Amino acid sequence: MKLVLDNVSKNFDEKMVLNNISFEFEIGEIYGLLGRNGAGKTTLFNCINNDLDYDGHIYLEDKDEKKDLVSEDIGYSIAEPLVPEFLTGREFLEFFLEINDRRIQTKKTVEEYFDLVGIDRKDMDKLLKDYSFGMKNKMQLLVNIILDSKIILLDEPLTSLDVVAAEEMKNLLKKLKKEHILIFSTHIMELALDLCDEIVILNNGALNLVSEKKLDKKHIIEILKSEE
């Protein structure tokens, strides 16, 4: 399975942000999406997530069969996690599992889901408003895991986590890649090089894969500087 971008363009008034991009993201890989502030990383994610109109075509291809994206195909973990802070972690998850019961293929207990993302069971009955930023980020990722979205878009998901929690999440993402297409947007180059299988750079409206031979900080910085 792969996510295909076919001649995708997006502009805001006179500013061209995505310029006729064609690219393929394949299952089994974690793609690190790098780009300078304002390069269009979030715009690209919003186009894939059908939050923005764009020119071109974005679709899934599996065994030579093409399929237009629907909302159920995509999980989107945004940089600023949004959770219902008036609920406890347990209440939120129980409610989420109930309303999505028909869609969930393999069900686990609430406790098992918390264990999956490394949230201590003693925190399940705390209000989400009292969760740390990193814990809220984990809850946001968890709902995408539960729904088994084919594509998971990750916008700076590890930035706020401590060293131990970040390592746990990196291990989880590496397991998820076997059955999902993961695109990981970050401004931390070292994190991308450590976690991701492939590095793609969004620069001057173009999306380009960095070859393995040039996969080093110096070369990536040179590419990013070319936007100046």
20-61 per-position pLDDT tens digit: 999 999 999 999 998 877 888 999 999 999 999 999 999 999
Nearest to residue 151, comparing CAs of 25, 66, 41? 25
User: Helix, strand, or coil here: 209?
Assistant: strand
pTM listed for this prediction: 0.83
Q: Which domains does the chain have, with CATH numbers?
A: 2-225 (3.40.50.300)
Cα distance between residue 112 and residue 169, in whole Å: 16
Q: What is the pLDDT of residues 183-226, one digit of tens each?
A: 988 877 777 888 888 999 998 899 988 866 455 666 566 656 55
